[in-house]
Amino acid sequence: MYEITVRLPTKKIDRMITHLNQNGYYQTFYEVPLDVVTDANGYAFVEKRSETTELNIYINNYFEAKERRTLLELLAIDDSSLVVKEVNEWNYQQTFNDIFLENGWVITTPERRNHYHKEKRIVLDSQGNFGTGYHETTKDCLYFILKHDFKGVSVADIGAGSGVLSVAAALKGAKSIDTYDIQPVEREILYQCELNRVKRVNVFQSDLIKSKNRINKDYDMIFLNIGTQENIDILKAQRLLDGKDTTFILSGMLEWNYHRVETLFKAAGFYLKEKKQSNEWVTCVFKAK
């Protein structure tokens, strides 16, 4: 495999990628230059459209004279702006490292699953959705999930992403799991269930804030790992705090705004049972009094 790199103005990248796709170049990658700012809800990202960034184009066979000429014409650049290198395809694909969790568990890939005892491993083949285990919020949710016995427990995983939290609950014996996400994640979540040899979970695609679709059942445990404002909006829109027998694991919150969620739970008759903070990220377990 060959990686062809060119630096282009960020504002032109999307148009250039469309142009490349139309001419048979389908594998591309770039990182948008961002400024990270903070607001009342946490972090926000502002795209820096006036800057340049590297566009990487990947092809299996590279015919130097022909390819360079074609790309120079498509991208309207001079020859010195184009850099070509051969990359090992296996290393290119192998981007996921094993993640060792605090309580002795490990998140690993299908290829390395036999390196670890099956009683303490989660097998994950990330398809790009949030929830690989690298982020502090996912790790800390897993910390609370994996130290509990879920036998006989019904679970809702809201903002499920890759489904890693649902898989963990299934491995700990949950009797039923419903996942909810605004994105079409069913294929990935069912695939992760298959990798871990747990029973299939129920997957629902829905915007639980704006949609009129209501969660019309009660759960023993609800996971909600999105963001402070999103967590609050879903709790209110779905009236989830009406379920006084439900325990909540909430994350995606920051040290300067998680108090808003705590206040909401206290007003509804819940108390903060446990809290864990990793860097600025806060994860809480709320239980009814």
Give the pLDDT confidence of 137-195 residue by residue, as tens digits: 999 999 999 999 999 999 999 999 899 999 999 999 999 999 999 988 898 899 999 99
Query: What is the tens place of the pLDDT at every residue in 253-271?
Result: 999 999 999 999 999 999 9
DSSP the chain: -EEEEEEEEHHHHHHHHHHHHHTT--EEEE---EEEEEETTEEEEEE-TTSEEEEEEEES---HHHHHHHHHHHHT--GGGEEEEE--HHHHH-----EE-TTS-EEE-GGGGGGS-GGGEEE----SSS-SS-SHHHHHHHHHHHTS--BT-EEEEET-TT-HHHHHHHHTTBSEEEEEESS--HHHHHHHHHHTT-PPPEEEE--TTTSS----S--SEEEEES-HHHHHHHHHHTTGGG-TT-EEEEEEEETTTHHHHHHHHHHTTEEEEEEEEETTEEEEEEEE-
- Gap between the Cα atoms of 240 and 234, Å rounded: 8
Q: Which residues contact 65 (CB under 8 A, 6 or more apart)?
A: none
pTM equals 0.71
**Backbone phi and psi for residue 212, each to the nearest 5 degrees, phi listed first:** -85, -5
The number of residues in the chain equals 289
Read off the pLDDT band of 80 (50, 70, 90): confident
* pLDDT at 258 (0 to 100): 94
